[in-house]
Amino acid sequence: MDGKRALDFDYVETLAGDLSGRKYFRVRYLDNFTAVVAKFPENMETVMEKFLLISNLLLSNGVKVPLIYKVDPISRIVIMEDLGRANIFDAGIDVGKIITNLLDIIKVIQAIPVEKVSCLNPPLDFNLMNKELDEAVYYLSPFSYKDFFPRVAEYIKQNLYDIFGKVQLVTTHRDYMVRNIIVKDRNIYILDYQDMRESIFCYDIASLLNDSFFASKELEDFCLSYMGYDREMEFCYRIVSLQRILKAASTFVKFARRGVINLLRMLPELFYRLEYQLQLLKFSIKVDWDRGLLNLASKGELRWEV
């Protein structure tokens, strides 16, 4: 795409953004060709650079991502392939029918040498996961009476300490969940990969099966078997799933406090999933939810002063 073509459009549509400061637009050109434009804020030049580097890294390893048509580093604009309007979550695609394809992508990403990403982003290691758990306790404690979230966070920390002492880190997407995956023309594309980094082997599958999409026990067991997990690896997966669920829930609350409230509707499902994983781990604790607060969240009616 040359410079003249990049500016020769006759229609602009503002798209829903992610939880970063990036803004997205769909542009239509005079010949009806469409593209997606990502505008990076002034403080995200480095993020844009990492986005472009990781895009090339994934493509070179056979993972499909949107093609980059043009980059304007001065304006911090990236013009890329338009893959359509719906990720597999919004499109209501049956994840079970494509699950082996999604798991195979995890395997491809894990095969990328960690040296390729360690220079781009810090590892999602024990220390960073602990920090995220502390943040989760801060944001989520109002939704439960007593000390439920501090106790769960401490349980996760104790087990993560042992887990990270035993495993070797691998390359992970970092946010491999259904809202970052698109199917077009029977091809699977992944999005929002600029935070790719090294972490624990089960982080991406924990994200896939426990964030927005919540796999049935039967599908979950199939996935763990397909990935070759033994009982110890399954235990790691469930502990990491707890951490991921708390991370997702606290992120939704954090951004709701800034005025982005649409994702709060997912809180009840995330908390139900948290209980599900705790029960499988035989972590015995009675949950006393603030039902009134959760009800407001599920309706999108919970508000904070911004």
Per-residue pLDDT, 296: 76
- 177/213 Cα distance (integer angstroms): 8
23 bridge partner residues: 39
Euclidean distance between the first and the last CA atom of the chain, given in angstroms as a whole number: 41
User: Any idea what DSSP says for residue 260?
Assistant: -
Question: pTM score, two decimals?
Answer: 0.92
**Strand ranges (DSSP E) for 65-196?**
68-72, 77-81, 170-172, 181-184, 187-190
Per-residue pLDDT, 241: 98
Place of tokens 């602009």: 12
**Please, are residues 136 and 149 in contact by the beta-carbon 8 Å criterion?**
yes
With CA atoms as reference, report the closest residue to 236 among 165, 284, 180, 179: 165
Per-residue pLDDT, 4: 47
Within 10 A of 22 (CB to CB), how many other CB atoms are there?
19
Give, for all 306 residues of the chain, the pLDDT tens digit: 554 455 566 778 888 766 667 889 999 987 888 999 999 998 888 889 999 999 999 999 999 999 999 999 999 999 999 998 889 998 999 999 999 999 999 999 999 999 999 999 999 999 999 999 999 999 999 998 778 999 999 999 999 999 999 999 999 999 999 999 999 999 999 999 999 999 999 999 999 999 999 999 999 999 999 999 999 999 999 999 999 999 999 999 998 888 777 788 889 999 999 999 999 999 977 778 888 887 877 777 776 654
Residue ranges and CATH numbers for the domains of the chain are: 3-81 (3.30.200.20), 95-298 (3.90.1200.10)
